[in-house]
């Protein structure tokens, strides 16, 4: 754990840029962790790594309306700013950018970042417009903060692939640093959405990570048919009809194109989404393990 400090909170773009100009004048490197708040141990891992690798750490907390395809999700997204600022203090974050919607979107947004090739599969096929909203706000934040490095969790694999490609294609001078997924003891990937699970749903939820692990193990044992791997992994859900599988795919981690056969040495991304009641969970694992 980094030494706790009192994080400085700034909500205005102009003030943020002026403050970071002072930081750069000292020759300090800047690490950046963009978040939507409701911070948990997964976010803390991002912040801790950013603190180790940079002189100065910026986090942002902004619930981005552009990436919500369902208004009820936006309305119900947890907003816990006071608690989040305490987490930032504890993790040694120097500055927290807390813009309002009017600050980031002072006028109706007419320009967007889109990558249909990377967003037509996996979550993208079920969440129209979501990744356009993600890419747009991330590019805005990268342009505002101009960090040396920005940190993103591997749990959101499609988001990570999209942002990595966006930064390359649009010549953004920030390094994108992936951070491994943080899990509960029973394998469930940490997510702000987990708090919406009932106790009964929470008991079922780890089956998602077990199915992904089963798929990765089958690849490691030599199985090369994606259909066979998927069928055997999905069999693990049979005892829990409450768990509704949205997708379970084996893909190329760079292009996110689905694979029918694994006729190369990897890597392979196994990604899935599952509904428990009104809560949607996503997770992924890679072969060979990263």
Q: Which residues are catalytically annotated?
A: 43
What crossing angle do the helices spanning 226-234 and 207-220 adopt, rounded to 10°? 150
Please report how many Cα atoms fall inside a 13 Å half-sphere around the Cα of residue 241, on the Cβ side: 0
Burial of 34 (0-12, 13-18, 19+ CB in 10 A): buried
Contacts (Cβ under 8 Å, ≥6 apart) of 136: 66, 109, 111, 112, 113
* Angle formed by the axes of helices 157-169 and 130-145, nearest 10°: 50
Using CA atoms, how far apart are residues 239 and 69, in angstroms rounded to an integer? 31
Q: Is 247 helix (H, G, I), strand (E, B) or coil?
A: strand
- Cis bond upstream, residue 101 (ω within 30): no
């Amino acid at each position: 754990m980094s030494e706790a400090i009192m994080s400085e909170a700034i909500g205005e773009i102009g003030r943020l840029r002026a403050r970071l100009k002072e930081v750069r004048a000292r020759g300090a490197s800047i690490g950046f962790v963009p978040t939507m708040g409701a911070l948990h141990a997964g976010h803390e891992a991002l912040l801790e790594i950013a603190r180790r690798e940079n002189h100065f750490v910026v986090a942002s907390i902004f619930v981005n309306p552009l990436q919500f395809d369902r208004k009820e999700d936006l309305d119900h997204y947890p907003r816990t700013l006071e608690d989040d600022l305490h987490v930032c203090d504890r993790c040694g974050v120097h500055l927290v950018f807390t813009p309002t919607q009017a600050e980031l979107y002072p006028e109706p947004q007419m320009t967007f970042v889109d990558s249909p090739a990377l967003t037509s599969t996996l979550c993208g096929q079920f969440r129209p417009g979501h990744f356009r909203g993600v890419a747009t706000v991330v590019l805005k934040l990268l342009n505002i903060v101009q960090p040396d490095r920005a940190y993103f969790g591997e749990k959101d694999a499609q988001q990570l692939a999209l942002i990595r490609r966006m930064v390359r294609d649009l010549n953004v001078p920030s390094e994108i640093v992936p951070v491994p997924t943080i899990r509960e003891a029973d394998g469930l990937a940490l997510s702000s959405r987990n708090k919406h699970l009932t106790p009964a749903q929470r008991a079922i939820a780890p089956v998602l990570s077990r199915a992904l692990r089963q798929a990765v193990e089958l690849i490691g044992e030599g199985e090369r048919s994606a259909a066979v791997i998927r069928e055997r992994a999905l069999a693990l859900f049979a005892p829990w009809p409450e768990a509704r599988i949205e997708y379970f795919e084996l893909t190329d981690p760079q292009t996110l194109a689905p694979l029918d056969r694994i006729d190369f040495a990897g890597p392979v991304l196994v990604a899935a989404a599952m509904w428990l009641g009104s809560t949607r969970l996503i997770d992924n694992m890679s072969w060979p393990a990263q």
